[in-house]
């Protein structure tokens, strides 16, 4: 008798037990977790992954970048892998769902396939990627696996190099070993990631599931306005070259321009630095760190032109000199159409309501998309809260997401679904 793979569902109670076990590792009093990459709590969570895989009778291996991969050999001999997963590290004082849900659901899918003795064309693999959140190097594990991690970023991590090297050593890896994680071409047939939305679009639309169309590109700049320091009490307002005014004008005008010309897109000034920074001195230099995001290059280019124009106008209006530093440009990533289709059809078969949307946040899927077809499933975040102890997703939504992951994985891995 052929197995009706479309009838298969994950075990909600077993997955909840796993999720709760994991949520206790690095738990904070307010209901969140504190599990930055390579902290004691993160190392403990990493051990949990290995033990969880062992409990279901499959081995996990750790690569040179510290990624854990647990492979279920359910495919044909020499089959490529369909990888499922996310990350177990958190931002400092973050939430329980970000990353962890995707890893727990991946392991649950493997166990469901294993206990039902299903043979597929592809092997399934659950992954826990290292330092997604960038305690030292953002998306370190997934970018190392995809072979696209620039050496410069490993040489210049956030924080000190010494601290980074000590942290790596705690996980048994080194700056050099990171690059050995690069996967051989053809290792992966695809990658699927279940993640919380971290926004409100699903809730606003009343949707159960988000099929992610792409991941935004981000551009970071520093705008340096240069004016003249003067006595704050004796210099008339019309004779000042106040760099602070240029900075403030840019921030407000950029907001205005984005709301008018780029609806749905975001621009953020994360920091303004005034020098000399005294009460009684007109500001001589003001630096604005500004970032904006969009899911296509044409829009990013148009935004860049708009922001440059606003900065130029602000400098002219207040008699300032202006220099602009480009700090980072990440390209937007389109997630594979066939993966989106598989996710949509799994969602429909499960009777769930889905919308398609781009992700405004970065994810491991953007690195995997460079080497294999990648797809992402979002489940609703209550009040859009994330990177916070307030992060919450209803359990039934987590289960729905995991079932979409299961059904999409089965169909992509060649299960006969009828």
Site for Zn ion, rule CB under 5 A: 98-99
**CA-CA-CA-CA torsion for 258, 260, 265, 268, nearest 10 degrees?**
30
Nearest CA to 208 out of 399, 363, 4 is that of 399
- CB of 194 vs Zn ion, minimal distance in Å: 11
Nearer to Zn ion, 98 or 197 (CB): 98
- CB of 212 vs Zn ion, minimal distance in Å: 12
Contact 192, 408 (CB under 8 A): yes
- CB of 89 vs Zn ion, minimal distance in Å: 9
Nearer to Zn ion, 240 or 363 (CB): 363
Cα separation, 180 vs 165, whole angstroms: 16
Nearer to Zn ion, 120 or 367 (CB): 367
- CB of 132 vs Zn ion, minimal distance in Å: 6
- CB of 142 vs Zn ion, minimal distance in Å: 11
Cα separation, 12 vs 358, whole angstroms: 28
Cα separation, 199 vs 418, whole angstroms: 35
Nearer to Zn ion, 99 or 138 (CB): 99
Distance of CA 216 to CAs 219, 293, 302, 338, 341, Å?
A: 10, 6, 15, 19, 20
How big is the CA angle at 350 (ends 348 and 352), to the nearest 5 degrees? 65
214: three-class secondary structure by DSSP? strand
- CB of 35 vs Zn ion, minimal distance in Å: 12
Nearer to Zn ion, 116 or 158 (CB): 158
Distance, CA of 168 to chain centre? 21
Nearer to Zn ion, 98 or 128 (CB): 98
Contact 296, 213 (CB under 8 A): no
Nearer to Zn ion, 98 or 108 (CB): 98
Cα separation, 19 vs 176, whole angstroms: 33
Nearer to Zn ion, 99 or 157 (CB): 99
Cα separation, 105 vs 97, whole angstroms: 11
What is the DSSP secondary structure assignment for residue 27, as one 8-state letter?
B
- CB of 199 vs Zn ion, minimal distance in Å: 13
Cα separation, 35 vs 27, whole angstroms: 8
Contact 87, 367 (CB under 8 A): no
What is the DSSP secondary structure assignment for residue 162, as one 8-state letter?
H
Nearer to Zn ion, 94 or 157 (CB): 94
- CB of 133 vs Zn ion, minimal distance in Å: 7
Nearer to Zn ion, 99 or 358 (CB): 99
Buried b (16+ CB within 10 A) or exposed e, 4-40: ebeebebebebbeebbeebbebbbbeeebbbbbbbbe
Cα separation, 149 vs 137, whole angstroms: 9
- CB of 97 vs Zn ion, minimal distance in Å: 9
- CB of 309 vs Zn ion, minimal distance in Å: 34
């Amino acid at each position: 008798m052929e197995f009706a793979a479309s009838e298969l569902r994950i075990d909600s109670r077993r997955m909840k037990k796993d999720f709760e076990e994991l949520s206790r590792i690095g738990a904070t009093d307010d209901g969140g977790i504190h599990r930055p990459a390579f902290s004691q709590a993160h190392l403990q969570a990493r051990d949990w992954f290995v033990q969880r895989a062992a409990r279901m009778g499959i081995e996990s291996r750790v690569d040179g970048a510290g990624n854990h991969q647990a492979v279920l050999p359910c495919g044909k001999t020499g089959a490529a892998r369909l990888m499922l997963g996310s990350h177990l590290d958190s931002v400092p004082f973050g939430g329980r769902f970000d990353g962890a849900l995707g890893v727990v659901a991946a392991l649950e899918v493997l166990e469901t396939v294993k206990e039902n003795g299903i043979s597929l064309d592809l092997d399934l693999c659950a992954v826990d990627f290292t330092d997604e959140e960038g305690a030292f190097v953002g998306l370190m594990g997934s970018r190392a696996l995809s072979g696209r991690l620039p050496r410069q970023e490993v040489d210049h991590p956030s924080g000190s190099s010494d601290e980074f090297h000590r942290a790596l050593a705690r996980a048994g890896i080194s700056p050099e070993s990171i690059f050995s994680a690069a996967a051989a071409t053809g290792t992966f047939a695809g990658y699927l990631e279940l993640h919380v939305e971290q926004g409100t679009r699903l809730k606003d639309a009343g949707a159960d599931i988000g099929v992610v169309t792409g991941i935004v590109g981000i551009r970071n700049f520093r705008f340096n306005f240069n004016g003249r320091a003067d006595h704050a009490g004796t210099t008339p307002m019309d004779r000042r070259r106040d760099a602070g005014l240029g900075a403030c004008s840019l921030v407000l005008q950029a907001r205005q321009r984005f709301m008018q010309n780029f609806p749905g897109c975001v621009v953020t000034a994360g920091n303004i630095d005034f020098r000399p920074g005294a009460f009684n001195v007109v500001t001589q230099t003001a630096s604005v760190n500004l970032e904006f995001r969009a899911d296509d290059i044409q829009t990013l280019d148009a935004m860049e032109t708009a922001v440059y124009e606003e900065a130029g106008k602000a400098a002219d209006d207040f008699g300032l000199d202006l220099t602009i530093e480009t700090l980072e440009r990440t390209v937007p990533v389109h997630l594979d159409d066939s993966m989106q289709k598989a996710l949509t059809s799994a969602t429909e078969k499960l009777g769930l309501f889905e919308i398609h949307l781009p992700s405004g946040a970065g994810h491991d899927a953007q690195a995997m998309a460079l080497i294999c077809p990648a797809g992402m499933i979002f489940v609703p975040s209550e009040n859009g809260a994330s990177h916070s102890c307030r992060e919450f997703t209803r359990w039934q939504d987590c289960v729905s997401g995991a079932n979409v992951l299961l059904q999409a994985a089965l169909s992509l891995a060649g299960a006969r679904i009828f």
